Amino acid sequence: MENFEQEVAAGARFQFGKNWKSFLSTLTEERIHVAGESLRSMLEAGDLRGKTFLDVGCGSGLFSLAARRMGAKVLSFDYDPDSVGCAMELKRRYFPDDTDWTIRQGSVLDKAFLNSLGTFDVVYAWGVLHHTGQLWQATENVTLPVNANGLLFVAIYNDMGLKSKVWRGIKRAYCSGWIGKMAVAGIFIPYCFARAVASSLKHGENLFAQYKKRRGMSIVHDWFDWLGGYPYEVARAEEMIRFYGDRGFGVRKQILRNDSGNNEIVFQRNS
Ligand SMILES: C[S@@+](CC[C@H](N)C(=O)[O-])C[C@H]1O[C@@H](n2cnc3c(N)ncnc32)[C@H](O)[C@@H]1O
């Protein structure tokens, strides 16, 4: 935790947990339902009864909650103490005194910590590995807790070459201190807002309301997550598939992007 605070003070890390704390005030049954549907669809499972689910970098805790509602025994962890607090708050609201949902503070870069957790039927690391500062080490470590035949669901920002490098600089500036934050937010929040309005008019639907269909997320919170989300690394889908293929994982389901968004891939460990 000490390291976390030092990294934030040094401008090396975005405080995701603070953004997730604010997101929790927007949480509705509809968002929880959409989050659950995204798990059902990608994991191709109606429920997770009898399964164990590890939520790596749990953020708000929304997907831990969704997995727990689907019947899984859940372990959530995050590096950011505020994210851990969010997951605890969701547990307090929806599953108080439940012994099948455990929440810890820890890092996916800490192999000893990961090994202490045991192995799981589903390991979920959505939008996390590229924010650790050591993408490929995290990508490797996250294989440790996957059971034989278990599923590993990862989402990593797509590599867009120069565009990704420019975005990395913008995020770094956002985290550098209050001047960088004000400058980046001052330029990009009005831009994001104008784009969302233009898109709503063009497609005849209110993007601000429709956005929750994307994994139950909130458009405004995602803007800040995107602008500040540092450390920031990227990977091409082929690199991810080759990396995990070399370690005995095959692709089960994928949603690939041709923009800067997340390539989402569900891998299965060969027995
Ligand atoms: C963009 S959020 C994604 C949250 C969640 N997985 C989701 O899908 O909504 C990234 C999360 O990764 C966490 N994170 C960053 N580095 C981490 C690390 N080394 N170990 C564990 N979590 C980490 C951040 O604190 C943040 O909560």
CA of 78 to the centre of ligand 1 (A): 6
Pocket residues for ligand 1 (CB within 6 Å)?
16-17, 57-60, 63, 78-80, 83, 107-109, 126-128, 131-132, 225
Q: State what percent of residues in the chain have pLDDT above 90.
A: 98
pLDDT of residue 186: 97
Q: Atom of ligand 1 at shortest distance to CA of 138?
A: 19
> Region 254-260: what's the mean pLDDT?
97
CA of 209 to the centre of ligand 1 (A): 25
Least confident range from 38-42, 202-206, 242-246, 260-264: namely 202-206
Reply yes or no on whether the pLDDT at 1 is more than 70: no
Please name every residue paired with 152 in a beta bridge, in sequence order, or none if there are none: 123, 267
Mean pLDDT, the chain, rounded, equals 97
Q: Whose CA is nearest to atom 2 of ligand 1?
A: 59
pLDDT of residue 245: 98
Least confident range from 175-179, 206-210, 232-236, 254-258: namely 206-210
Q: Whose CA is nearest to atom 22 of ligand 1?
A: 57
CB atoms within 10 A of CB 206: 13
Structure tokens at 260: 């800067």
**Beta pairing, strands 120-126 & 146-157:** parallel
Q: What domains can be seen in the chain, in order of their start residue?
A: 2-159+235-269 (3.40.50.150), 162-228 (no CATH)
> Region 37-44: what's the mean pLDDT?
98
The model's pTM is 0.97
Q: Atom of ligand 1 at shortest distance to CA of 17?
A: 27
Give the SS3 label for residue 234: coil
56-108 confidence digits (pLDDT tens):
999 999 999 999 999 999 999 999 999 999 999 999 999 999 999 999 999 99
> Counting every residue, how long is the chain?
271
Q: Atom of ligand 1 at shortest distance to CA of 225?
A: 1
CA of 270 to the centre of ligand 1 (A): 26
* Mutational pocket test of ligand 1: of 82, 128, 214, the residue with most ligand atoms within 8 Å of the beta carbon: 128
pLDDT of residue 268: 98
Least confident range from 92-96, 201-205, 234-238: namely 201-205
pLDDT of residue 43: 98
CA of 202 to the centre of ligand 1 (A): 33
Q: State what percent of residues in the chain have pLDDT above 70.
A: 99
pLDDT of residue 239: 98
pLDDT band at 271 (very low <50, low <70, confident <90, very high): confident
Structure tokens at 67: 């997995």
Rounded to 10 degrees, the C-alpha dihedral 200/225/235/84 comes to -130
Helix (H) / strand (E) containing 225: helix 219-228
113-145 confidence digits (pLDDT tens):
999 999 999 999 999 999 999 999 999 999 999
Q: Atom of ligand 1 at shortest distance to CA of 132?
A: 16
Q: Whose CA is nearest to atom 10 of ligand 1?
A: 128
Q: Whose CA is nearest to atom 4 of ligand 1?
A: 59
> Region 249-254: what's the mean pLDDT?
98
Please name every residue paired with 134 in a beta bridge, in sequence order, or none if there are none: none
Instruction: Tell me, letter by letter, the H, E, C secondary structure of 37-106.
Output: HHHHHHHCCCCCCCCEEEEECCCCCHHHHHHHHCCCEEEEEECCHHHHHHHHHHHHHHCCCCCCEEEEEC
